[in-house]
Amino acid sequence: MTDYTAVQVVPTAEHINLDRKVPAHGGFNGRLLRIELLRVLRNKRTLIFTVLLPLVFYVAFGVPQSSKWRGTDFDPKAYEMISFALYGALAASCAIGAGVAVERAQGWSRQLRLTPLSGPSYIAVKVITAMITAALPVIIVFVIGASTGASMSTGAWPVSLLLTWIGGSLFASLGLFVGYLVPSENAMQILGPGISLLAFAGGIFYPLAVMSDTMRTVASFTPMWGLSQIARYPMLGGSFDPMWLVSGVVWIGLFFAGAVWRFRRDTSRV
């Protein structure tokens, strides 16, 4: 009779594959994007703040406009329509971005660091979510503007809508930067008044033509100056100033770089 002795094979480093495959696109995927979108659309408070408030502002301040402002030759209703649509897109995108402050407090950011998801990919998901959300106030305000007498050339309508949407939604990078920079309870307290001040200083709510020379100079150095000028260019016409584009690209690039830096710093202790 033959005795068989069970031999337990202990795996060694030679038998174990220690290589972890890095997913394509830094872990960016449609499922994570869908989860982010559903989470935002279920937040009624955010939707009311970002969609209803700009519409109320336009109805209150834009619709009653019946005469052109001093030193201008464009329709003030159309100007205000673009202004408040842009403000709504800015508010929506910044609110989405600032939501990371709550995620930080809950430990979600550090949890994500355990996954192959890269910082730029995570921020890209947030920016795309913000872009989709920012489209809501832009479309709604433009529809109401068209139905209340706002006047632009036929070709200016779709181009201005597209530029307003893209320009406003890119400010998700500002919300992300602030969301990673300050505690969760302070993020929106800073962004709320901050967006309004930047909007006034950047000439979103009233034309630069009626500003003093000093205020026009100050406005040209604010983050919203270039993007607001680009959004109104199809309506105002004239010559295109390349500095509008340079200003927008520089500011958005700085916010995006700051958001990536803070994301990596915030999750580096995992």
pLDDT per residue as tens digits for the range 178-189: 888 887 767 878
Q: Enter the pTM of the model.
A: 0.82
What integer pLDDT is reported at residue 47 of this predicted model? 81
Task: Indicate the number of domains in the chain.
Answer: 1
Residue 11 lies in a domain: no
167 close to 89: Cβ distance less than 8 angstroms: yes
Residue 104 lies in a domain: yes
Distance CA 169, CA 139 (A): 13
Domain range for 76? 27-267
Distance CA 19, CA 1 (A): 45
In sequence order, which residues have a C-beta less than 8 Å from that of residue 264 and are 6 or more positions away? 119
Which tokens go with 111?
């949890």
Residue 62 lies in a domain: yes
Residue 35 lies in a domain: yes
**Which pLDDT band, with edges at 50, 70 and 90, does 46 fall under?**
confident
Could you give the residue ranges of the DSSP H alpha helices within 51-155?
Answer: 53-57, 76-98, 100-105, 108-113, 119-147
Distance CA 97, CA 100 (A): 6
Residue 187 lies in a domain: yes
Residue 148 lies in a domain: yes
Residues in the chain: 270
Residue 51 lies in a domain: yes
Residue 245 lies in a domain: yes
